[in-house]
Chain A
Amino acid sequence: MGTTVIAFLILYYATVLGIGWWAMRRGGARDLEGYLLGGRRVGPMVTALTMQSTSMSGYMFLGAGSLAYTQGYWALWYAAGDVGGAVVNLSVIGRRMRKLSQITGALTAIEYLEHRYPSPWTRLIAAGLAVFLLAVYVVAQFIAGGKGMELITGLPYSLALLIALAIIIVYTFLGGYLAVAYTDFFQSLVMLIGVLWILGAALAHFGGFAAGNAAVGAIDPSLLSVWGRDLAFEGQWGVVVGAVLIFSIGYMGWPHVVTRHMAMSRPETSRLAGAYATGWNLLFVPTPYLVGILAIAILPQLDDPELAIFNVAHALLPAAVTGLLMAAIMAAIMSTADSLLLQTGSIASRDLYQRFIRPGATEREMVFVSRALVLAIGAAGYVVAVVEPPTVFAIVIFATSVLGSAFAPAFICAVWWKRANTPGAIASMLTGAGTCITWELADLAAATTLHSMFAGLCASTAAIVAVSLATRRIAPVPPHVRQAIDKASAIGPVTPGRGGSSALALSPEAGEIAREIDARGSGRS
């Protein structure tokens, strides 16, 4: 790609690190809180863009483009679910989960599941599944980073992958890529402007959408249909529903995504953040897919469809702009990989090692266990990515389908169905994961015309309902859990239609003060 691209890559990294350094110094010097409240002070727009940029990277720039390049407009089924995923997530479990986790004192998603479905087995199974699937998911980021580095530097893939992996692991171990909201905000803006710029360049190349579609149709008219190349998925609604569900309902099964619900600050902020996130999604999510479709006519002979977006940018944009965009994409991929590794290491050390192996483990031991696991994932990921690399798309779809199938019904029933009990949740996690993995490995989607996500979700939902009802007498939901669910659903808006809104954050104090007033016999002074 040349020295201009590499120069901009270095410049971009320097800028991102500079923002992190500035925010750290500014926050630390200003007041007692340091920069830890950054996320709460910066408002809903920065909050929203931070959330979106840290969860969308390798897949959007490699997987989405590849799917669109190989299947045409069929790929937009995946985008359809993704556009509304954030709002569905916030609406279905957001506010109630925040309250319930607060009431039960849970800090992580796995801890929350154990508090709601009390049993060590809940934590063991949930943590085991999460560690395995997040490790699988992070391999997709490694491959994406390796391919990007290969394209930028011109080095052989195995060496480029090693460099990308080394950078990710070094800053996971040593820090330096701080979770500063403004860094993520800056990154998300560059990503958004970048993909829109590539799309604009692609449309200008053809002279508009109609001309672009005509060029794609001239190569293969079936790519313009929503049923895939050669109409391979025609009438397969079970596959379509699964494709839409993956990034809408599927997000609810990601432990690192649902943890954000537990950390929400004010409900007003979350509502506005949801609106901004949807706005950002509307602009960002379909764009890589559209670029992938247009790439069919711009670069019809690509060896690796996963590099469709990178290659379109290289072919149509000036070197400086390409360099900036590539740098932003690489930084986003590495940031996501870093977050996933930290989450995986944290679950392994706290939810498995400290909980089941050494309850008295010191912080030093926990850091050691986390680092050992990160190194093991890095080594295993490198071998997989070099010896027989799956596509980024295949890995992300596999991990998301299994996570969604295993966890989504358990998270949803946790707040919406009081009768969901521990055996039901455990059966749901095992059945959902087992069904989905079997579906993927045996390629049952082709035989049954049902997507693995759809099959897994149906199986895990049926399991939680059937097992909870069958075991309601031998394993009743504990009274303190039922009370917590009641409290989580109790606070409503203040006088609907009168303006203003109820402050959810006050509900614990409100409950205590109401009890005190009752105890004193009268609320009036």
Chain B
Amino acid sequence: MTDQPFSAIKGEVKPEDLAAGITGLGLSFPIQDCQRIYYPYDWHVFRYRARTILGATTTLVSCLVDTRTRICATADPFRLETRTAGDDWMLGRHLDRDTALGLARRYADHVARRKNKALVLPRVDVVESRPVYKPFWVTHCNPGSGAAQTMLIDGVTGDYCTLRG
């Protein structure tokens, strides 16, 4: 636990949503308790500029690198907020920033190449590069069919999966 401020992706799923039984997420059983966890990513935005028949194109690729599993993915737009951990948990990074940048660049190159459909050499600039944390909720619930389940809920999208059950 730390009181150092950090950049977090603004979460749309609130504790009150969880307390209400998250019926909006398609589940019909109540949540017993919940714990917010901040998960560490590196966020990189690359700008690709290339000349094509349609004129000069500029493509921005926003890429999140999971600093624990090294998995990269393009990201939907999100808003950032400054948070302190308080009672929330923060998971530690397993990846240094240079390695994360290298992974993000390789992934973004791949995505941009597939999208542009042209054998051109683009000019690439790093527009944004910073560590960010994303909120998740770990909840316990009893679906009524026997054993309780521990579920993980994405604090931004509301997506969920079981951790144990």
Contacts and interface: CB of A to CB of B under 8 A. Distances in A.
A338 B159 contact: no
Interface string B138-165: 1010010100011110100101111111
A513 B37 contact: yes
Interface stretch (A65-73, A166-174, A213-221, A315-323): A166-174
Interface string A250-275: 00000000000001001000000000
Contact of B60 (A33, A178, A179, A509): A33
A371 interface: yes
Interface residues of A, number: 68
Contact of A33 (B37, B58, B77, B87): B77
Contacts of B61: 33-34, 36
Nearest to B77: A31
A455 to B, nearest CB: 34
B31 to A, nearest CB: 12
Contacts of A157: none
B2 interface: no
Contact of B74 (A37, A346, A492, A524): A37
A105 interface: yes
A314 to B, nearest CB: 30
Contact of B66 (A17, A172, A367, A509): A509
A499 B120 CA distance: 47
Interface string A485-525: 00000011011001111111111111111101100100111
Contacts of A263: 114
A187 B118 CA distance: 19
A251 to B, nearest CB: 19
A204 interface: no
Contact of B118 (A171, A266, A501, A512): A171
B33 to A, nearest CB: 6
A177 B52 CA distance: 9
A200 B31 CA distance: 57
Given A24-B54, A174-B52, A179-B114, A507 B119 contact: no
B84 interface: no
Contact of A371 (B26, B75, B119, B136): B119
A33 B91 contact: no
A360 interface: no
Contact of B160 (A31, A170, A503, A512): A503
A363 interface: yes
A374 interface: yes
Contact of B161 (A31, A342, A364, A491): A491
B138 A523 contact: yes
Nearest to A366: B121
A35 interface: yes
Contact of B69 (A177, A367, A512, A520): A512
A36 B68 contact: no
A525 B87 contact: yes
Interface string B58-83: 11111000101111011111000000
B84 to A, nearest CB: 17
Interface residues of B, number: 68
A24 B116 CA distance: 10
A103 B116 CA distance: 26
Interface string B35-70: 101010000010000111110011111100010111
Given A172-B118, A174-B118, A494-B160, A506 B152 contact: yes
Contacts of A516: 37, 89, 91
B57 A24 contact: yes
Interface of A: 17, 20-21, 24, 28, 31-37, 40, 102-103, 105, 107-108, 170-179, 263, 266, 338-339, 342, 345-346, 363-364, 367, 370-371, 374, 491-492, 494-495, 498-514, 516-517, 520, 523-525
Given A179-B114, A523-B163, 4 more contacts: A20-B54, A21-B54, A32-B62, A517-B138
Interface of B: 25-29, 33-35, 37, 39, 45, 50-54, 57-62, 66, 68-71, 73-77, 87, 89, 91, 103, 106-107, 110-121, 136, 138, 140, 143, 145, 149-152, 154, 157, 159-165
20 contacts: A31-B77, A32-B45, A33-B74, A33-B75, A33-B77, A36-B115, A103-B69, A105-B103, A175-B52, A175-B53, A176-B54, A178-B52, A178-B115, A178-B117, A179-B116, A338-B117, A498-B29, A500-B25, A509-B39, A510-B161
